[in-house]
Structure 1
């Protein structure tokens, strides 16, 4: 458990808007997001990054937060965040305390089955939840835009920040190339403004599952950074293909609620250059699981973000057959069209 420097309880309120008595306890449940792919990863385009993705209803994590004179974080999950990541969250929380002149910090305890560094988007969701709990503990009214700015997230993709607040399917257009500082993963990219949202919509209640392949080492933040540095920028044609598949394939299918076309779009995304490079990081171990899922009868398979999480759609009997074969490496889930859940305030 990391403890941040103690905050002064005598500090006075800033110009922030207050909204009644401060709560002493708040619990926020966060949910995974599937990041289907980044789009504009070539040099000299008008915009950079951009992507498509959607929220799912599990496995979730719960952040139990209590008003405190200082910030602490205790992650009891089986795959907790690293010390460096905890320190990064502490830095953001303490910065918010200083900028807003808050009298209280927050003590955070994380539990649940949502995994870190497996393609679920836990880093963004945890950071946003910690800040939301901090402001609630200080009875500060805020907006999603202000929370995102305080978090420093969203510099690469808007999928995680949008799905945190609203769930659903998201297509964002990334950031202006003029505001970009090279090609960086979200853990290292801090832009002056959030990615431009093109479309957010509800997905039908299609049955799907997620799988964590065995023997696929989850990437650390340092390894994610090295991957971006090694593989970018792509050629323009690769970005054009990804944009076409994302818009005319996946997003059009989501708008029309066309299940077969949506699955075809997912499979087509796996063949785009950027997603192919991400998948190659895991070699035969991931490819064999993908092949076996298709042999059992799923309708499509994709890899979320830099993996190694695989997501797939299929009928209920097929999904049950997958779970029988892969056991606790598989979770049967559904698209989630709502954001985080505030359990107690």
Structure 2
């Protein structure tokens, strides 16, 4: 039997509470898009074999860590079948699409399916090792849509990115999940921007954080009273205004600045050809854009950056698709 898992990419608009004190830590807003997708197929095997992830830019240590997690679950749950990752296609690694969470959840879920078992989303979320910084990908994997999570309870440990956390003791608290409206949307992967490495990301977190209370409050306002409320009320103009405002907030502004002028110049160009809003997903460099006259804006972006860098996409309100051969 072959288990095939097709996972929509997640767009992460921003982390929210990155201050030195408070009620919660992290939290965020984001949503799923139909394209690009992570597609993985698994077959029975005597052991856990995820070596095919090397073809998608996974480091040996990352593969070893995920392999060990699945092996431990095999032992704990007394599973008799391992699995082998037969085929895999992922969007650009560390590009802002949530591939790490998608691959971890797909591998874990497929392990149980190949053993004839179906486990709950709650079990999978708790045992996949993801969600240390954001819960958007943990929620959107199963049901897509727009997600607002309130992070976890505050603690005084240094704030780090998801890839620096191997054990998640408290999952992010999902507060809202809404269907996204089918507003015309595209993706631009800036051709000259290299994705940040895990080491660069952790150095960035260490240097930039914690944020001031004023910066946290500003981000919270635009994320909740702007983006979340606009999705719920189906207000395209307010949605676009809040997206642009989030790009100017301290945390997202610092993430964009990681790329010098490269990403900022791409965002400015998209605005100049009629885009109503442009957002960098997570720590980038992928940009998501919206436009009322979408065909004209999309054509201009293709002329400027080439067809391989720009693609049309839509919101995904379904989540992963599982099929069997």
User: Per the shorter chain, which TM-score range?
Assistant: over 0.9
Give, in whole Å, the separation in 2 of the partners of 1:215 and 1:246: 29
| Residue 334 in structure 1 maps to residue 310 in structure 2 | no
Give, in whole Å, the separation in 2 of the partners of 1:275 and 1:142: 36
| Corresponding residue for residue 49 of structure 2 | 72
| Corresponding residue for residue 104 of structure 2 | 127
* Residues 1:73 and 1:191: Cα distance change in structure 2 (over 3 Å): closer
- TM-score, normalization: structure 2? 0.95
* Residues 1:326 and 1:230: Cα distance change in structure 2 (over 3 Å): same
* Residues 1:107 and 1:97: Cα distance change in structure 2 (over 3 Å): same
Deviations for 1:239-291, whole angstroms, at most 9, x for unmatched residues? Answer: 01110000111111100111111111100000111101111100111111111
Asked if structure 1 preserves the Cα contact closer than 8 Å seen for 2:19 and 2:210, the reply is yes
Give, in whole Å, the separation in 2 of the partners of 1:192 and 1:295: 45
Give, in whole Å, the separation in 2 of the partners of 1:181 and 1:93: 27
* Residues 1:216 and 1:78: Cα distance change in structure 2 (over 3 Å): farther
Q: What pairs up with 1:28-177 in 2 under 5 angstroms?
A: 28-75=5-52, 79-112=56-89, 114-177=91-154
| Corresponding residue for residue 183 of structure 1 | 159
Which ranges in structure 2 are unaligned for 5 or more consecutive residues? none
Between 292-301 and 303-312, report the one with greater CA deviation. 292-301
Deviations for 1:148-174, whole angstroms, at most 9, x for unmatched residues? Answer: 111111121110100101100000000
Give the aligned length. Answer: 321
| Residue 205 in structure 1 maps to residue 185 in structure 2 | no
Compute the displacement of 1:49 (Å).
Answer: 0.1
Deviations for 1:65-90, whole angstroms, at most 9, x for unmatched residues? Answer: 00110111243797432222211211
Give, in whole Å, the separation in 2 of the partners of 1:181 and 1:98: 31
Deviations for 1:182-211, whole angstroms, at most 9, x for unmatched residues? Answer: 311111233322111111000111111111
| Corresponding residue for residue 8 of structure 1 | none
* Residues 1:192 and 1:272: Cα distance change in structure 2 (over 3 Å): same
Give, in whole Å, the separation in 2 of the partners of 1:39 and 1:87: 31
Compute the displacement of 1:215 (Å).
Answer: 2.0
Deviations for 1:298-339, whole angstroms, at most 9, x for unmatched residues? Answer: 111110000111111112332233223322111110111111
* Residues 1:110 and 1:89: Cα distance change in structure 2 (over 3 Å): farther
Between 289-298 and 45-54, report the one with greater CA deviation. 289-298
Asked if structure 2 preserves the Cα contact closer than 8 Å seen for 1:124 and 1:153, the reply is yes
* Residues 1:257 and 1:78: Cα distance change in structure 2 (over 3 Å): farther
Compute the displacement of 1:98 (Å).
Answer: 1.7
Which ranges in structure 1 are unaligned for 5 or more consecutive residues? 1-23
Q: Equivalent residue of 2:40, what SS?
A: strand
Give, in whole Å, the separation in 2 of the partners of 1:70 and 1:161: 26
Give, in whole Å, the separation in 1 of the partners of 2:157 and 2:79: 31
| Residue 194 in structure 1 maps to residue 171 in structure 2 | yes
| Corresponding residue for residue 313 of structure 1 | 290
| Corresponding residue for residue 4 of structure 1 | none
Give, in whole Å, the separation in 1 of the partners of 2:94 and 2:72: 25
Asked if structure 2 preserves the Cα contact closer than 8 Å seen for 1:124 and 1:161, the reply is yes
| Corresponding residue for residue 234 of structure 1 | 211
| Residue 272 in structure 1 maps to residue 249 in structure 2 | yes
Q: What pairs up with 1:212-251 in 2 under 5 angstroms?
A: 212-251=189-228
